[in-house]
A = this chain, B = another copy of it.
Amino acid sequence: MDRINITYNERPELKDPIFIEGLPGVGNVGKIAADHLKDELKAKKFATVHSRHFPPQVLVGDDGVIRLVNNEMYYHRGSNSDKGKGKNDIIFLVGDYQGLSPEGQYELADAMLDLAVHMKVRRIFTLGGYGLGRMVEKPRVLGATTNHQLKKEMMGHGVVFAEGEPGAGIVGASGLLLGLGEMRGIEGVCLMGETSGYFVDPNSAREVLRVLVKAIGVEVDYGALEAKAEQVEKLTSRFKDLEKGIQDGRKQEDLNYIG
């Protein structure tokens, strides 16, 4: 195996495809959103990415059968095959891990962009979470783009561009695909759902998807996503109560200072 191996099980010819990345990250928001959209659109796998930059690990399925950790690429045909719901063909990049080292991240992003350029991708959407370090009731979807025109367009879909957010920039594949993509003539936007950063967050992923589907002109059902959100809700509600208790305690203290 080379440092990056892309194995194709199909070589689809696509028309002006958009590229959607959703890999593991803060709250797994991007991964959950991209996986859900890919599943809902019944996208087809056409390539598997293995790499020495991923952990040296196999995953074990519930059937006891292993597979090497990887990234996978799917495609979805737009207007023609999808009853007119979508305009553009779509390529998905989803997977188990991002590259472990900085160099690995750059090399993987470059390899994905080689493929994107070859397939004539014009626009990239990268999906992620924006960790706030506190529970979020109504997550906003923050944006960052490669140009002002695209920013204006995204604001029309409800994406929030807030000065100074995210202050630390965007780390990993969601950032590099935009930054390196721009150097190769591909515009792009990163959609970041606000999230606590403590748990996987299907709720934030749904908010990201709500914006994304408007931007790319498809429709999806959120049922499966909401079921996941409820599961997580149950697991985390106890944590929320605890946090609320702490905050209430603080307020009490604050009053003590004054009174």
Contact = CB atoms under 8 A, between A and B. Distances in A.
A68 interface: yes
A58 interface: yes
Copies of the polypeptide in the assembly = 4
A69 B179 CA distance: 9
B56 A147 contact: no
B145 A179 contact: no
Interface residues of A, number: 54
Contacts of A176: 56-58, 68
Q: Which of A56, A146, A165 has the most C-beta atoms of chain B within 10 angstroms of its own C-beta?
A: A56
Contact of A102 (B100, B106, B165, B178): B100
Contacts of A58: 144, 169-170, 175-176, 178-179
A106 B64 contact: no
Contacts of A56: 99, 102, 105-106, 109, 171-173, 175-176
A59 B169 contact: yes
A193 to B, nearest CB: 16
A134 B9 CA distance: 44
Nearest to A108: B56
Given A56-B176, A59-B169, A65-B151, 17 more contacts: A1-B106, A1-B180, A1-B183, A50-B183, A53-B103, A56-B102, A56-B172, A58-B175, A58-B178, A60-B144, A60-B166, A63-B161, A64-B144, A64-B145, A64-B151, A65-B144, A66-B175
